[in-house]
Amino acid sequence: MKTIGGNAFSFCKSLTELDLNQVETVGDYAFQYDVFVQPDLGDALVELGAYSFAWCPNLEIVVFPDSLTTVGKSAFSNCPKIRSITIGASLTDLGD
């Protein structure tokens, strides 16, 4: 799978692990309100949509792969437990 559409897994409160290997695009609001602690964003991801991980209450660690170029606006807003974000080498556009 190369694309995960908008709202695809929103409000999946029992989804605790996420492996996006081979996914290139994640749509707007795709994983909002989910409960993972550290999603695996894979090594092919190029774009994260707006609010894609917003309101994830348990999200603590985010590692952007070197392939990631764009992070949409408020992609990680209202995630009170984030304590670490690692930004990959190719990031050129970081939304609000």
Tell me: the pLDDT tens digits for 7-37?
Answer: 999 999 888 889 999 999 999 999 999 998 9
Structure token pair of residue 50: 């707006």
Mean pLDDT over the full length of the chain: 96
| Burial (Cβ within 10 Å: 0-12, 13-18, ≥19) of residue 49 | buried
Q: What pLDDT sits at residue 36?
A: 87
- What is the reported pTM? 0.93
| Mean pLDDT, residues 54-81 | 97
**Confidence at 47, pLDDT banded by 50, 70, 90:** very high
Residues ≥6 apart with Cβ < 8 Å to 87 = 64
